[in-house]
Chains A and B, each alone.
Chain A
């Protein structure tokens, strides 16, 4: 009897191990292409857009103060200095285009306060966690410098990107400033939006080995998009690119763009629809 029990126990243990091994094998999608992940950006115009800063309803004076302080930074050259640290985005900054001039304004009228900046902590190069564990990025550095000029106490708050405007409304932060695309729906809902400071566009990133060269090649394929981004709203049923997204096999939403890229590299999706600066930064870093 004891021997039988022992044998049964061993058989069950072996079965469990086999089951575990089988679980691992299940995830092989049975594709044969090599795992060399050469990502590339498809050169195709899918819609231009601009980045801006969102403030709560009625807080026009806060918006004005920040914009004035940023323009002072442009005037005294700090803006260009900070931008030089981010070569992937420097060419598209509105304030650094030829012909743009900013005049230093008087900031003394604005009362000192605490200013909490709302960012997506995973949005390299605009806002991300630096090597020292502190939040950094182009937008964070600009906001910090602007608050210094204004004499405001500065703090950073990482929002859930898909709930950023709800969190802004709930006063968890005083602005959303993190490579955020200006959408018409934002002003419709009463948010105060700053003037645009960055020209961006949406691009498709694909695996170079898959032979996809245009959005037309993606018919029936799976496309990943980050939840809460302008890309998501463009591909939505009522978005500007609804007719394009209807040709896709399916659109999956991830909670961070890093997951979108991981899914692409792992072969779970065929393309990622993302803002150009983020795509450029990621693709260049992978090279």
Chain B
């Protein structure tokens, strides 16, 4: 197999890698904000539950979460059915494993990344001085106005470098979808490496990831620049 066919084959998988990447960002960025706000809730129960979820999602490997989301429901339904049969409960669950692996993969990635983004958002929110809230109140801003017009734009500017960090990591983490047999770019690279006993596909994969991340770095740099309206 020559280099060109190799690259062509792997670019087929690149589409699936991109699908994971963009869908994960689409869901996890807003979800992270919701989680961050819940985490800061004054209701002790709500913030405690959110804190627990974040600690579980950050404290277990993403690979494990992928397996749990993909195969977990099926194994649970099997266990429930066994129990129901043993005790004659007369209930039966019928949950299989998703044929379209993109769904569980994106669900697992989105909840995992949302918990990381939530903590980044929180760091931004908590870095805002109380004086700004007070000044806004004096100027007659409502709470929602204060948040949307004064706090959020500053928060976004402050957390942008950390968010870029996570996004770059996400690109590389997409290769983990392999654990649940999702045929993304790296999986195809491994298949070629195996059949050709060659290291070249891994080099190609490395170049793909690097270019992808270089583009992201460039775009995020532009966004950061456009937001640095305080610097002269």
* A positions within 8 Å CB-CB of B: 1, 5-6, 9-10, 12-13, 16, 23-24, 26-29, 31-32, 34-35, 162-163, 165-166, 169, 185, 189, 222, 224, 227-228, 232-233, 236, 252-255, 259, 262-263, 265-269
Contact = CB atoms under 8 A, between A and B. Distances in A.
Interface residues of B, number: 42
A253 B197 contact: no
A1 B103 CA distance: 39
A26 B191 contact: no
A222 B73 contact: no
Contacts of B197: 165-166, 169, 185, 189
Contact of A255 (B73, B78, B97, B178): B178
B181 A224 contact: yes
Contacts of B94: 28, 31-32, 34-35
B107 interface: yes
A169 B196 CA distance: 13
A6 to B, nearest CB: 6
B98 A13 contact: no
Interface in B12-55: 34-35, 37-38, 41-43, 46, 49
A253 B183 contact: yes
B49 A268 contact: no
Given A13-B49, A35-B81, A232-B191, A26 B103 contact: yes
A2 to B, nearest CB: 8
A254 B199 CA distance: 20
B46 A35 contact: no
Contact of B38 (A9, A169, A259, A262): A9
10 contacts: A9-B38, A9-B43, A27-B96, A29-B96, A29-B99, A165-B194, A165-B197, A166-B193, A227-B190, A267-B96
A121 to B, nearest CB: 16
The 4 lowest CB-CB distance pairs between A and B, nearest first, are A266-B97, A267-B96, A268-B97, A266-B74
Interface in B174-202: 178-181, 183, 187, 190-191, 193-195, 197, 199
Contact of A26 (B78, B98, B178, B181): B98
Contacts of A165: 194, 197
Interface in B49-102: 49, 69, 71, 73-74, 77-78, 81, 92-99, 101
A207 B101 CA distance: 20
In the complex, which of the residues B81, B97, B104 has the most CB atoms of chain A within 10 Å of its own CB atom? B97
Contacts of B149: none
Contacts of B178: 255
B225 interface: no
Contacts of B195: 185, 232-233, 236
Contacts of B103: 26-27
A17 B181 CA distance: 28
A13 B38 contact: yes
Given A35-B77, A267-B96, A262 B194 contact: no
Given A27-B103, A185-B195, A222-B99, 4 more contacts: A26-B98, A28-B94, A29-B98, A266-B96
A53 to B, nearest CB: 17
Contact of A253 (B37, B69, B93, B181): B181
Contact of A163 (B71, B98, B180, B190): B190
A162 B187 CA distance: 10
A236 B77 CA distance: 34
In the complex, which of the residues B49, B92, B194 has the most CB atoms of chain A within 10 Å of its own CB atom? B194
B194 A162 contact: yes
B96 A163 contact: no
Contact of B96 (A28, A224, A259): A28
A241 to B, nearest CB: 15
Contacts of A233: 195
A12 B99 contact: no
Contacts of B96: 27-29, 31, 266-268
B187 A27 contact: no
B46 A13 contact: yes
B46 A255 contact: no
B2 to A, nearest CB: 13
A34 B94 CA distance: 7
Given A13-B49, A163-B193, A224-B181, A27 B95 contact: yes
Contact of B42 (A5, A169, A259, A266): A5
Nearest to B182: A252
B36 to A, nearest CB: 11
